[in-house]
Structure 1
Amino acid sequence: MAAQYLWSLLLWAALLPIADIGAQVQGQVGGSVLLVAEHPPSFQVREAIWRSLWPLEELLATSFRGSLETLYHSRFLGRTLLHSNLSLELRPLESGDSGNFSVLLVDTGGRAWTQILQLKVYDAVPRPMVQVFIALSRDAQHPKTCQALLSCWVPNISDITYSWRREGTVDFGIEPHGLFMDGQVLRLSLGPRDQGVAYSCIVSNPVSWDLTTVTPWESCHHEAAPGKASYKDVLLVVVPVSLLLILAGLLSAWHWGLCAGKKKKDVRADEMATETENTLV
């Protein structure tokens, strides 16, 4: 009898217009989220039915006359908790849990109230990687200024926002004309007065954030550290090796061409000799 009544309510809900479309609810992978069942103040709830509408339509939880039930074979089985106020808790959240959810409430007078909630689940933002690239000046021993590019990056995560903060000063702002690639790259002109100034790259999405802080002036010292090659040393090795490889390729192609031509000439000579012998015979 209860099952028949449940399916009647579900059919009724499919025919009813939506009474309220709730705001988007945001959650983080591994965390929890509470889908709150809201209704008018004079609405005395008797039954409640929670469903997942998209990407799959599934029954998640029900409440009939104070009896709460969540053991339905949906993708949320074992991850749902229906509270006494009829709000539905989902935990732990997974990346594929984003979608639309509905709750059908029926009061003691037989009135129905349907609410739609949109859940968006985000990955936690990892700590960004920051690289400092320096344009070397002519005076390598005592640089007065240097141009720096700070590149910030995180793995491929959706809805990421990049921003920069200058630490150690009253004014934390960054001039917009120094930002490129949607804030991932920051261009700076540094001098000795910036020796102790640090810059932080902040990455965030709607539910989490993280940052990495660097002091770019430290990269403006052009003396190569022991055991580390400077960019000039790299060029001195890479360029000659590249030229040698190109030259070796050209010589190989030339040698192969000569061998192929000689082989064709020998074959042609053999054919001519054969034709001559046939003619004499």
Structure 2
Amino acid sequence: MWSLWSLLLWEALLPIAVIGAQVLSKVGDSVLLAAEQPPGFQVREAIWRSLWPSEELLATSFRGSLETLYHSCFLGRVQLHSNLSLELGPLQARDSGNFSILMVDTSGRTWTQTLQLKVYDAVPRPTVQVFIAVTGDAPALNTCRVFLSCWAPNTSDITYSWRREGMMDSAAGPHSLFTDQRVLSLSLGLRDKDVAYSCIVSNPVSWDLATVTPWESCHHEAGKKKKNDHTDEVAPETENPLV
């Protein structure tokens, strides 16, 4: 009968077929690392291990007997299914790494499959702040220049994009983008008074958005301008995210 150390020795000494794949998931979820076998490969023994950032034994199957009670950082968060796929969860950010399953069939052939797991934090809801371009001239009631600034905490691996709501063409219209697309510059007219803009933040496994109607801030700032004679400044107007 094969021992655990015999299987590991076989992996070190014999030619092995290796398959690489990437699996994406997010913190708090469970993920299934699917074990794939070549045609005609009848598994007798199998070993799941984490390879990086540290090498640990996670689960084994010997002649149909499944075992997961190994002391590792996944203890209590591992389930080995009858098809030898490994379920991990709930996931933590530190769980990203490489995993490997070594299988031996009834004729002594070996097969190794390696997978890379990447765990992301769920994207938080962003905050959008509206800045109004104010000049010393009398404000025009039918035009407004605005800058929409979008920000989300824990911004690692986050991508920013903008969407104009309520239009067949969801592009933001005539605009300029700055600071890795976090800042959107717009020139608005009367026809834009009911138009909303959404900042969308996303990573490979999740997304969220915040929506503002910038024309409302234009009118608010125009009223303030009549009371205060400031010149050539950009005035901020924070908007509550509307989803």
- TM-score bracket relative to the smaller structure: 0.7 to 0.9
- Aligned residue for 1:13, secondary structure, equals helix
1:223 is the counterpart of 2:214: no
Which residue of structure 2 aligns with residue 145 of structure 1?
143
| Distance in 1 separating the partners of 2:149 and 2:190 | 22
- Aligned residue for 1:133, secondary structure, equals strand
Give deviations 1:174-210, integer Å, cap 9, x for gaps: 3686111121111100011100000000000000000
Contact 1:37 1:87 in 2 (8 A): yes
- Aligned residue for 1:12, secondary structure, equals helix
| Distance in 1 separating the partners of 2:138 and 2:228 | 15
| Distance in 2 separating the partners of 1:26 and 1:231 | 54
Which residue of structure 2 aligns with residue 38 of structure 1?
36
1:202-213 counterparts in 2 under 5 A? Answer: 202-213=200-211
Give deviations 1:81-113, integer Å, cap 9, x for gaps: 000100000000000000000000111111000
- Aligned residue for 1:115, secondary structure, equals strand
Which residue of structure 2 aligns with residue 20 of structure 1?
18
1:230–1:34 distance in 2 versus 1, CA, 3 Å = farther
Contact 1:18 1:116 in 2 (8 A): no
RMSD of aligned Cα (Å): 2.2
1:13 shift after superposition: 1.5
| Distance in 2 separating the partners of 1:198 and 1:52 | 47
Give deviations 1:151-182, integer Å, cap 9, x for gaps: 11111332111110000111111368611112
**What amino acid does structure 2 have at the position aligned with 1:193?**
R
Which residue of structure 1 aligns with residue 239 of structure 2?
none
The aligned length equals 228
1:176–1:122 distance in 2 versus 1, CA, 3 Å = farther
1:82 is the counterpart of 2:80: yes
1:265-280 counterparts in 2 under 5 A? Answer: none
1:39-188 counterparts in 2 under 5 A? Answer: 39-137=37-135, 138-140=137-139, 143-174=141-172, 178-188=176-186
Which residue of structure 1 aligns with residue 236 of structure 2?
none
| Distance in 1 separating the partners of 2:198 and 2:145 | 17
Which residue of structure 2 aligns with residue 241 of structure 1?
none
* Structure 2 stretches lacking a partner, 5+ long: 234-243
* Structure 1 stretches lacking a partner, 5+ long: 236-281
Give deviations 1:39-66, integer Å, cap 9, x for gaps: 1121111111000000000000000011
**What amino acid does structure 1 have at the position aligned with 2:216?**
E
1:160–1:18 distance in 2 versus 1, CA, 3 Å = farther
**What amino acid does structure 2 have at the position aligned with 1:139?**
A
Give deviations 1:4-45, integer Å, cap 9, x for gaps: x11111122233455223320011000011000101121111
- Aligned residue for 1:40, secondary structure, equals coil
Give deviations 1:104-147, integer Å, cap 9, x for gaps: 0111111000011000000000000100100125333x522111
Contact 1:123 1:157 in 2 (8 A): no
Which residue of structure 2 aligns with residue 200 of structure 1?
198
Structure with the bigger percentage of helix: 1
Which residue of structure 2 aligns with residue 266 of structure 1?
none
Q: Share of identical aligned residues, percent?
A: 73
Relative to structure 2, which stretch is displaced further, 7-16 or 58-67? 7-16
- Aligned residue for 1:71, secondary structure, equals coil
Which is higher, the Rg of structure 1 or of structure 2? 1
**What amino acid does structure 1 have at the position aligned with 2:217?**
S
1:33–1:146 distance in 2 versus 1, CA, 3 Å = same
- Aligned residue for 2:224, secondary structure, equals coil
Relative to structure 2, which stretch is displaced further, 32-41 or 167-176? 167-176
